[in-house]
Chain A
Amino acid sequence: MSKNSECDGLAKNGLTAAKTNLELAASILEETAICFDSAGNRKKAGQYLTLAGDFHMDLNDLEKAASCYGKAILRYLMIEDFDTAQILLKKGQEYGFTTSFHQFSIAHDAIERKFSTKQDEEMNDIEEKEVQEEIFEIDIVPIESEQAIFPIRYDEFHENDEIIQDSKDYVIPQLNESKTKLDTFDVMTAVSKATRQKKKSNLQANAAFKDKKGETHLIEPIKTLNRIKKGIKESETSDLIKEDRIEPEKVNEHFLIDISEPDTLDLNYTARTEFINEYEEELVDIELVDTIPFQWQVIDVKSDFDLETKKPTQTGMVFTWKTGKIDPGSKLAVEYILRKRVERSIVLRRQNQVSVVTTYHSIKQDLQANLEFVNTSGNVYNEILIEDVIPPELIVSDSKSSQSLKPYTIPTHDSTLYRWTFNTFNPGDNFCIFYQFREKPITRHYIEEIVTNTGLIKIEKISQPLHDSFSYDYIWYYSIENSSENKINLSDRIPSDFDIELVDPIHLKPTLKKDKNQIILEWNFLDKKEHKSFIVLRIRGSESFTPIGPIIIIPGKDDLFLLERNSFSEKKLIDIRKLKNIEEKK
């Protein structure tokens, strides 16, 4: 008979005995634990010791119970199950076990030692992070172009529209004083940021024309830049919101989430330049000059003018348009379809000089980018910093470097910066980074109000995608305010391949019901006890979907009249942490 079968036999005897004789059971269960100990199964030994301890408690034998609990705690510590060890310690203290019980006292001290070590480690991590995020103030002294330390070979980079590049060189006095690598990289980071901030990403437009006297006039035409909003069409929103009130028992049949269409931001923008003849006479020889900074890739152009020239300059791609005449009151326009590029800053250091090379990379239709950088200078660089600004419409779902380096990601106000650092870059060396992107889901904010005779019911839902996650993670935030006398039920939907990862507060977890290709979330207890509350959910899945608004059900009352509905879209910052803090203080 194997050791484990012997233990299992004892366990069976112990559990049978428990039904009739607690004392006998406790003693056999302790024997079972010893048996599992000798078989090396500490977890099972801990379980049976706990059980024996509880039966000793039932027999009012505090000393034996405390001894069993103490031994059980030590076994959980051995297998590093600290949560269970702590739970048993707390339970033992509730039972009245004190440190005067030898085994329990040993277990108590062991847990304290373990947790003080863990806390020290966590504190060290925090301190390290603070050092990394310290901000440097630096002096940057530009070097004249003839002294450039990283000569650009334009022939290599201007072959096509995929990569545009420029370079600036600086002297950084602080680099002479830097003693550690951390210092120099921090200075290089600050240089990269300062250089990026100086670059303009705004579109510029100028126009010239002649009046009937032949005099030339200069004006600034009207410029507009809009996102093409494929994810937020009015028709789509009205389909998903209830048109009429549905009977409570039919709610589940009626509300289905849309998993066929991705609910993401469009990658493309439209930029439009308009020339309007506001004179009461015909204008002639009209010339329009648009400068599109390199942060933008031009996908397509539609124009009422004839293209004269298109050429790259230091500030961007310059389009010159011409037309012979324009009638009074008429309007001529140029419309560009644009897409953001990945803006890359490469900072190379040689002693107290740095070269900042900026490149702009177009994103292919398959949402991939292979960003390559070759040392064509003939010099060896000892420290290299590369920062890639990922456009705000995209999330990185995978990134790999040729040297198997790990990036450091930094959230910015509307996008993410991927930072790569490495040492020694020899002439001819190639540094390649592959990015796989995915489109970013939009943030939706639903506000639902129901006016009743006894007060207002107001439920808001914010669905916000998490930017720093490789999968599709969303934060769903609900705020519930029920000033009426009615009890309300709340319902929502997630696709069946989504999971609810976390809930706050945990007692407001929804009950879940599977229904075809979706999971129905229900909260059935939002009565007066929950007059004002909030719920935060973190959900995760592999594809984006279109979240619907919260479904409010008032049991026994199914007749609601729609008073008004409107929707609008704007760029703004929603900080769910702040909203939650406000609700908590209420």
Chain B
Amino acid sequence: MPFINISFAEAKNSLEDSTIIFELLKSKKINPKEGDLLEKLGEYSRNKSEEILNDIKEMCYLYFGEDGKDAFEKLSRFIESENKRVSWVIFSRHYQSIKYDYSDPLANYTPRITEVLTIKSKYRLIE
């Protein structure tokens, strides 16, 4: 489920506390790609580096295609501006979701008899 399902409070708090993103994923309010973008935003708000900002820009172009530039500008306003609330509403209603394939990884999976290499290791933790 998409950005539209994330309240302003959740979006703002996720910038500080990444466990909120984990909980949003667990409750299926967002998908992993949306989670990745939120994580990057949080990373930027904690460490304002050009490199992370570029990563966010790349993600916007990757996920929103020709609207990538516009999406990045709207997201930048959310992470940079004082008026986060309106910025979040504007971003999340424009870019309501990132397409994600919810298919089961095991769809079309057929188990077969095959050569299996088993490697077993056992350790003792020195405490």
Contacts and interface: CB of A to CB of B under 8 A. Distances in A.
A440 B112 CA distance: 12
Contacts of B89: 18, 51, 54-55
A466 B25 CA distance: 27
A453 B116 CA distance: 32
B65 to A, nearest CB: 11
A502 B101 contact: yes
A148 interface: no
Interface in A177-229: 227, 229
Given A507-B25, A577-B106, A50 B116 contact: no
A87 B122 CA distance: 48
A569 B127 contact: no
A447 B119 contact: yes
A538 B105 contact: yes
Contacts of A450: 122-125
B93 interface: yes
A582 to B, nearest CB: 14
A393 B108 CA distance: 20
A18 B83 CA distance: 11
Nearest to A451: B124
A17 to B, nearest CB: 11
Given A91-B4, A536-B105, A576-B111, A525 B83 contact: no
A392 interface: yes
Nearest to B4: A91
A451 B1 contact: no
Interface string A567-580: 11111111111001
B63 to A, nearest CB: 14
B93 to A, nearest CB: 4
A549 interface: yes
A448 B114 CA distance: 22
Contacts of B125: 450-453, 486, 554, 557, 559-560
B124 A509 contact: no
A447 B116 CA distance: 13
A446 B22 CA distance: 27
Interface residues of A, number: 83
B124 A87 contact: no
A564 interface: yes
Contact of B114 (A414, A507, A577): A414
Interface in A397-431: 411-415
A502 B108 CA distance: 13
Contact of B117 (A242, A442, A452, A557): A442
A561 B97 contact: no
A268 interface: no
Given A18-B86, A559-B125, A563-B122, A571 B116 contact: yes
B101 A507 contact: no
B86 A443 contact: no
B49 interface: no
A451 B111 CA distance: 32
Interface in A149-172: none
Given A573-B112, A574-B111, A537 B119 contact: no
A467 interface: yes
A77 interface: no
A443 B114 contact: yes
A570 B116 contact: yes
Interface in A497-538: 501-507, 509, 511, 525, 536-538
Contacts of A573: 111-114
A449 B112 CA distance: 27
Contacts of A231: 117
B42 to A, nearest CB: 12
Interface string B35-49: 110010000000000
B121 A549 contact: yes
Contact of A19 (B31, B86, B96, B115): B86
B117 A567 contact: yes
B109 A577 contact: yes
Given A87-B97, A242-B121, A572-B116, 15 more contacts: A47-B94, A51-B93, A51-B94, A87-B2, A414-B113, A442-B114, A444-B119, A448-B121, A503-B105, A504-B104, A506-B31, A561-B126, A562-B123, A565-B120, A570-B116
26 contacts: A47-B93, A84-B96, A87-B97, A88-B96, A245-B123, A449-B120, A450-B123, A451-B122, A451-B123, A452-B127, A464-B114, A501-B105, A504-B106, A505-B26, A507-B25, A507-B26, A509-B35, A537-B105, A554-B125, A565-B122, A566-B119, A568-B118, A569-B118, A574-B116, A576-B109, A576-B111
Interface of B: 1-2, 4-5, 19, 22, 25-26, 28, 31-32, 35-36, 39, 83, 86, 89-90, 93-94, 96-97, 99, 101-106, 108-127
Interface of A: 15, 18-19, 47, 50-51, 54-55, 83-84, 87-88, 91, 227, 229, 231-232, 237, 241-242, 245, 265, 392, 411-415, 440, 442-453, 464, 466-468, 475, 486, 501-507, 509, 511, 525, 536-538, 549, 554, 557, 559-577, 580
Of all A-B residue pairs in the complex, the 10 with the closest CB atoms, nearest first, are A507-B25, A538-B105, A507-B26, A559-B126, A411-B110, A575-B111, A502-B105, A509-B32, A51-B93, A452-B125
